[in-house]
Homo-oligomer: A and B are copies of this chain.
């Protein structure tokens, strides 16, 4: 019949779009899969993972995200846009591409880690600003979730970026009236405008707010837990079946999604169009609040409006106010279950997929259900069903992503609903607090599953009971102030450390001159000139670092000597060897270090006892060395202040 033809076209199109996205992603840039926010967060924490922000990742992310969103999957474009913004920032910070002769002189100012990180933070801010049309929310997202180090100059830079995004968006939207630019113009600067709502309420309103906050926190923690399980299973499958596994999985997800969003609306009933409404009813186009689907003229299928629609329109429909009973509770329940299921199976496939939109849909569906329940069983009629949906979305965002201020402002900018700010804040408070009792945020969990060595903000409590020497590996390999090139090559080949202490042997006891970086040694080996300028030592673009294997030296060159002192950092950060690990952790984290030298308080043969790197502070490493501390992990709530605390802090 005509419906099976329609389904074939619908499902075929979807599968085609999703598969092309998956092919791009799996073959050219595996780093482009997923949301991208955890990866950006890791980069901003100081993790230099290859390809996170590479040009191919950028291109695949843009194209793949188009395929995934257009293919009807339960994914958003927000995470990918954050990643895209960061990629563009990273490309800019490399000063263009030397290979294609596109270099800009003024961009050389970004040739250091800190400015590059700042630029990437601004890119993330621009991504959120553009995705949600929420410029202030973008700044706050970048600072609260993405960045690991805050400075007021960074705030200022992110604000600058977002202001430019806001003005650009506004100018672009003013030339995109109606359907001029597809769905871009819909809603204008405020994507899900909720209009003017009466909120004459009293103390009793706190009851539904607390209900929503509590259940949002629980549901969010549950979602995070399940999503972690799914991610691990998927990662195992990908390792086992390779490219074919990834593509087949993407195909399956696309098929299941198409079947559900085309099949489930058959369960919905046809309702007569209400009178006196401004929206088209029934509608058949891309969008619409009252979808006709299989109903006769003058009737609409509410389940089709919620499922067979763009994600943005689903949210708009759920948030719509003064529409009590527009969506039957069974339709909402079906939407809730199907979107929860689809969100779970989709994230982890080899396509760019944002988490914001699915979480908002699940939360809004569930909030509207709660609203229907409260309004139909109790006397609490103060909140509109749309407000319930809105608060439900807030609660699930708080319960899964554990952000506060940024979610608050993003939602405000999405819906222009300032009067609901106090209940929104309360809902976020409750849901985040509850969620944090069970597990980490969904992004932190992805970071953990991907094995990225993310340095959290606070040291673990058991670190107070260890000193730095307890976790520091054996004495580091050292170099002499005037060193044979052959020795340097040998040292570099025998280890993958990135920093080497330089010792001076002029007096009877050797003296620590400073720390030299692997990358600078490689430059010295490669150029072997007497004169260098700062550009030689500038950090190369991401994924383009020099390697010792690429350097070939002749035997006579091997016997040359080089004075390392001019290229050594003569004042490295040092700590004494009896410092507590927790204190050293705070120093390492707050100063954003890569190497921290441990020196002895008592004179010894070697002036340096060890070098601490990020790896040494990872809980996995520490607990691997001292498994009996593992139980201590749960003592955080019970730690008591003792005399030693006063002196250590």
Give the interface of A toward B (CB within 8 A). Answer: 108-109, 111-112, 114, 135-136, 139-140, 144, 150-153, 155-156, 159-160, 162-163, 166-167, 169-171, 174-175, 189-190, 196, 200-203, 206, 404-405, 408-409, 412-413, 416, 418-419, 421-423, 425-426, 428-429, 432, 457-458, 509, 511-512, 520, 532-534, 537-538, 567-576, 578-580, 583, 586-587, 590-591, 601-603, 641-643, 645-649
Closest CB of chain B to A113's CB: distance in Å?
8
**What are 6 residue pairs bridging A and B, where the CB atoms are less than 8 Å apart in the complex?**
A111-B641, A136-B408, A166-B426, A418-B418, A520-B647, A571-B580
Q: Which residues of B contact A649 (CB under 8 A)?
A: 112, 114
Q: Which residues of B contact A409 (CB under 8 A)?
A: 136, 409
Q: Which residues of B contact A112 (CB under 8 A)?
A: 646, 649
Q: Are B155 and A174 in contact (CB under 8 A)?
A: no
Closest CB of chain B to A638's CB: distance in Å?
13
Complex Cα spacing A458 to B156, Å: 14
Closest CB of chain B to A511's CB: distance in Å?
6
Q: Are B151 and A457 in contact (CB under 8 A)?
A: yes
Q: Are A512 and B647 in contact (CB under 8 A)?
A: no
Closest CB of chain B to A473's CB: distance in Å?
20
Complex Cα spacing A428 to B537, Å: 38
Q: Which residues of B contact A643 (CB under 8 A)?
A: 532-534, 537
Q: Which residues of B contact A206 (CB under 8 A)?
A: 167
- Of chain B, the residue at the smallest CB distance from A579 is B571
Majority DSSP secondary structure for residues of A touching B: helix
Q: Which residues of B contact A405 (CB under 8 A)?
A: 136, 139-140, 155, 159
Q: Are B202 and A601 in contact (CB under 8 A)?
A: no
Q: Are B567 and A571 in contact (CB under 8 A)?
A: no
Closest 10 CB pairs of A and B: A571-B579, A163-B425, A166-B422, A150-B150, A159-B404, A170-B422, A534-B643, A537-B646, A416-B418, A534-B646
Closest CB of chain B to A317's CB: distance in Å?
21
Q: Which residues of B contact A160 (CB under 8 A)?
A: 429
Complex Cα spacing A206 to B419, Å: 30
Complex Cα spacing A153 to B135, Å: 23
Q: A429-B163, A641-B534, A642-B534 are in contact. Are A418 and B413 (CB under 8 A)?
A: yes
Q: Are B533 and A166 in contact (CB under 8 A)?
A: no
Closest CB of chain B to A174's CB: distance in Å?
5
Q: Are A425 and B537 in contact (CB under 8 A)?
A: no
Closest CB of chain B to A161's CB: distance in Å?
10
Complex Cα spacing A646 to B174, Å: 46
Complex Cα spacing A41 to B509, Å: 48
Q: Are A144 and B155 in contact (CB under 8 A)?
A: yes
Closest CB of chain B to A571's CB: distance in Å?
4
- Of chain B, the residue at the smallest CB distance from A108 is B641
- Of chain B, the residue at the smallest CB distance from A648 is B569
Q: Which residues of B contact A202 (CB under 8 A)?
A: 171, 174-175
Complex Cα spacing A590 to B149, Å: 10
Known interface pairs A570-B578, A573-B575; 20 further A-B residue pairs with C-beta atoms within 8 A, sorted by A's residue number: A109-B641, A135-B421, A136-B408, A136-B425, A151-B457, A153-B457, A153-B458, A156-B432, A159-B425, A163-B428, A166-B421, A167-B425, A174-B203, A189-B418, A416-B418, A534-B641, A534-B642, A534-B643, A537-B643, A571-B580
